[in-house]
Every structure is written in structure tokens, then in C-alpha cells.
Amino acid sequence: MADLRIDIHDLQLKNPVMLASGTCGYAEEINEFFDVSELGGIFLKGLTLHNRDGNLYPRMAETPSGMLNAVGLQNKGIDYFINNIYPRIKHYNTPLIINVNGSTVEDYIELTEKVNELDKIPAIELNISCPNVKEGGMAFGITCPGAEAVTREVRRVYDKTLIVKLSPNVTDVSEIAKAVEGQGADSVSLVNTFVGMAIDAEKRKPLLSTITGGLSGPAIKPIALRMVWQVAKAVKIPVVAMGGIMNATDAVEFILAGATAVQVGTALFKNPLIPLQIIEGLNGYLDRHRMDSVKELVGSLQV
């Protein structure tokens, strides 16, 4: 049994296997299958200040080795979360992280101030990379000045662990990562989905109501892996990796490339038990390679 404990800034994780925002609801849905306290942490479904209905149906298209989604941050708003969901989930014995979204910098600040009051939320994931909303979202995450501005303002009002979720839809993701590190981010998580598209050739129509959507799943893994590797070399803060992780070997690859922890996302749709299989497989890998701690594995790629 290797030691799987690892830290992301002040966040102490019992293992590096976490769930990605937007793929695990508010943790209760996954707790229907197994005790979520076994996980390293859970990034809850993205929240906004106010209720959002999200985009019109259809919001999903299956693609080779993956899928496109265009959910558009459907959620009932932070106040509903605090009053109705938070009391039901705060006892889970694993870090619950709120994914924070906004259309304007002011939205991000107001939302973060509310989240800062929640004792059982030890970190936020600042989402500047959602590709499926018309205003805000990815618009902040695709330029250095935009990413810097949101990170700087949110940092001012938030004193717990601040993780910034980066978009892969940029020329050089490591530049954005350095920019947010410079404004006080404690960690970066990447990658959010890639903007993609699918067409029904017979009907001559797009498959998504929004025409374009975010691509996820194993189809994006090699690109995500390259980006995590680039960012891990460029910044000193811990990197949380995601992008098509389906099994323990995938997770090991991201950790070798420099990730401190990983998020399992789209894989949950295929099988919600995959995170448990990854924790077990990671343990087995470390034992086979005679490592006492997962910390030895981080960034240990031999090039």
C-alpha cells in the first residue's frame, strides 16, 4: 500500500483522484453508487449567482471516443445551493470544491464572497473556460489580460485555495497559466473542453442546438496530456489535470507529465465506478514501481 496522500496548496487530499465539475452533479448523484468519501475530492457542478436554464435541447452529441456537450451552465444559482443542497452534502468526508462562474468580473466577485462564507468548502475552481455560454466564461480565459483580471479580483476576496480552470482553446495555454499564477492562483486545473462541432449530414443540420459545443472524453486525451506537460513546466503551483481519463494508466500518465492530482469527468457517464478503479490501479502501479508515495510520481517523466 503506497501513500496516496497529496496536497494542492492548503487542500489535503487522501488521494489524487477527484471528480470533474459538470460530470458529478453535487456529489449526491455519485454517492448513489458508492461512498464518495473515498475520493480525493469533488468539483461540484458549476454555479452562478442566479438561476440559469442552460441551452436548448439537444445539448449532446456522441462522437468517436467522446462526446460534445452544450449544457450552458444550467444551475439554480448560489442561494438555492446554499439553502437546499449544501446542508445535504457538507458532511461528506472529502473536499467539496465549488466551480465558480460569471458573466462579468463583478459576478465572479459576488459569488466568491458568498462561497467564502461556507465552512465546508475549502477551495474554489474559478471557471474561466466554459465554452457554452454567450457571455463571460471562456471569454475571460482565452486572453492573458482577461484571465489576470478575474483572478486578481477574485483573489482579493477569497482567502482559501484558489484553483483556476483553464481553457485549451488558446494558442499557448502555459502563457495563461503563468498569467493567473502571477495574480495569486494557488493551482490551475486543465483542460476544460475543446470547442467542437457535429453535423447530421442527412438532415443537413447541426446536432447541437448551439451548433458548437465542448468536446470531452478519450478523444482529447493526447492533447490534454501535452498541455498539462507544458503548463507543469511553466508554473510552480500545482496542476490538476483532466481530459479523457478513463483508467489508472491514464491518470498515471497525467501525473508523470506533472499533475499533482487528476479529475475524472466524462468517464463517469460510462461508468460511475471508474474513480474507484483508478484509485486501486494507482496503488497497484506505485507498488509495482516500488514507490512509497504518489508524490514521487509527480512530474517524474523521464525525457
Partner 1 sequence: MGNKTVSDFIVTENIKLNDTNYLLRLKAPDPLPIIRPGQFVNIEVKNTSEIFLRRPFSVFEMDYDKNILSVIIKILGRGSKKLTEVIAGDTISLIYPLGRHFTYPGKGERILAVGGGSGLAPMLFLAKESGLPAENVDLLIGARSASDHIDVNAYSQYGSLNFTSEDGTLGTKGFVTHHPLFTDNLKNYDKVYACGPEGMMKAVAREARKAGVNCEVSLENLMACGFGVCLCCIEPTVKGNLCVCTEGPVFNINELKWQI
Which residues, at least 6 apart from 19, have a Cβ–Cβ distance to it below 8 Å? Answer: 27, 30, 36, 39, 41, 42, 43, 263, 264, 265, 268, 275
Point out the catalytic residue in the list 42, 130, 264, 274: 130
Is residue 270 a contact residue for partner 1 (CB under 8 A)? Answer: yes
Find the distance separating the first CA and the last CA of the chain, reported in whole Å. Answer: 28
Identify the residue among 3, 14, 50, 60 touching partner 1 (CB under 8 A): 60
**Count of residues binding partner 1 (CB under 8 A)?**
37
Contact 105, 113 (CB under 8 A): no
Options 30, 231, 257, 294; binder of partner 1; rule CB under 8 A:
30
- Residue 221 C-alpha cell reads as 486525451
Is residue 130 among the annotated active site residues?
Answer: yes
Question: Cβ closer to partner 1: 69 or 99?
Answer: 69
- Regarding 292 and contact with partner 1 (CB under 8 A), the answer is no
Instruction: By CB under 8 A, tell whether 200 contacts partner 1.
Output: no
49 close to 75: Cβ distance less than 8 angstroms:
no
Are 257 and 35 a contacting pair, CB within 8 Å? no
Residues between 76 and 105 that touch partner 1 (CB under 8 A): none
Q: Does residue 58 touch partner 1 according to CB under 8 A?
A: yes
243 binds partner 1 (CB under 8 A): no
SS3 state at 4: coil
To partner 1, the closest distance from the beta carbon of 31 in angstroms equals: 6
The Cα 267–Cα 275 span in angstroms is: 9
Binding residues (CB under 8 A) for partner 1: these are: 22-25, 29-35, 45, 51, 53-54, 57-60, 62-67, 69, 71, 74, 217-218, 266, 268-273
The residues carrying an active-site annotation are 130
